[in-house]
Structure 1
Amino acid sequence: MAPNYGETWVYESLVGAVPGLQLSDRMALAIQLVLFEAAVLAVAAGYGLWDAVPAATAAIVVAVVGSWLMLTFSRTIRELRTPEPYRRLLFGSSVEMALSLLAFVLFVTYLFVVDPRGSQPTLLQQLLGPEPPAIAVVLLLLICWDVIYRIGTCWWATVVGFWRSLRYSFDRPTTGRFARLDALNVLFAAVQVMLLPFVTDHLILVVAVLGHLVAVVLVAAASIALQRRRVTERS
């Protein structure tokens, strides 16, 4: 059964809006991986940018893992029949899109304004050479948006999970499933560490990735502990 409008991420809504398109999770993830990687290899072959392939592949893998997390998270939430205010805040508010857009704007500002002012080669030059081809820049920004959107979704799911733990209590099996969902957010934040080897010369980006990881771990751990304590108090 198709999910109701307002109970999906923007990502799911866009895919589900395509007439006649019904893909399994595995197929959707495989298509995402293959299409992006094929585009990267084609641009690398066309412009001799093979040094950028490892970084691009790492980013694509992070994005695909993020897509898996989003699909797993949303479908589990719908199966659990969670309180309507929680689902509305999680999905219907589209806050994850706003957070992602803000993060992307900050990243683009760093890439084209802040980074060129330093004495070191810019990230764009390190990845795409001194005169980056326009199509390569477009693909880079598209992949970065794909990653950043999923990071924004991860953070929003973590924050709303903490709010859920403050407001609601559930039986032990349901609490266990919520704990596993909160742990998935930590897993995805940890996967993002794959990107660090490619930005080690850019302290702001290193701090952003590690800061996000630390924040997700702390908030998710607090959410799990609080939710489990409420079950104990309720028993």
Structure 2
Amino acid sequence: MTEIRVSVCMATYNGERFLAPQVESILAELEPQDELVVVDDASTDGTTRVLERFNDPRIHVHAHAENRGYVRTFEEAMGRATGDVVMLSDQDDVWIPGRRALFVSALQDSAVAASNLVLLGSDDPLPNPLTRRPWRLRAAWSRQGVRNALRILAGMAPYYGCAMAVRRDAIERVLPFPAYLDESHDLWLALFGNAHGTMRHIETATIRRRIHDTNASPSRPRGITQVLRARVMLLRAWISARRR
């Protein structure tokens, strides 16, 4: 049986403070044939030095001279990936052991997979930003494409890029990201998977998410203008995903 090769794609920007524990948790999961593709978005701190200190041949770092934003940085990282399974990762969380195996298994019959998360330090479920109740994906929702799209548009589907992966044969369809997409690359991937009936939800938590003052994903509700703009963008993304 041919061995599965996994690529982990990470976008970094001024992540020196929390990067080392995250990379350690990733490398502990990866096999010798796997890779960690890091695209650094013009960090001004010691982010790249942290990566260099690992001196691990599985880590491939590509540094930008100018800041392009996290959406385009993740897009580049995914485009550089060479593995059969492409997993996304933030720079400041911690992987839970077993994550690689769960995603490799889930993507045997699906193009996109997403798992649940817990909070680093407490292992409590991720809270819904509106109700503060536990916010989880359900395995039974996996093939509910239209319903999941409606959940996304309503802001009620906890898809996070740090807990997502894409199978190799779908990469050329999800890339490039739509030109108008300037946030929520994770929801673009989720919309694509749901639009084509090839989404898989993993109920097990595979990430311990670190909440701090510089998270790219907001942990509190946004203003009405921002919400409406985001919903219009996601509606466009749903239409685009159905055409891919």
- Verify same fold: TM over 0.5: no
TM-score (norm. length: structure 1) = 0.31
Computing the radius of gyration from Cα coordinates, the structure with the larger value is 1
TM-score normalised by the chain length of structure 2 = 0.30
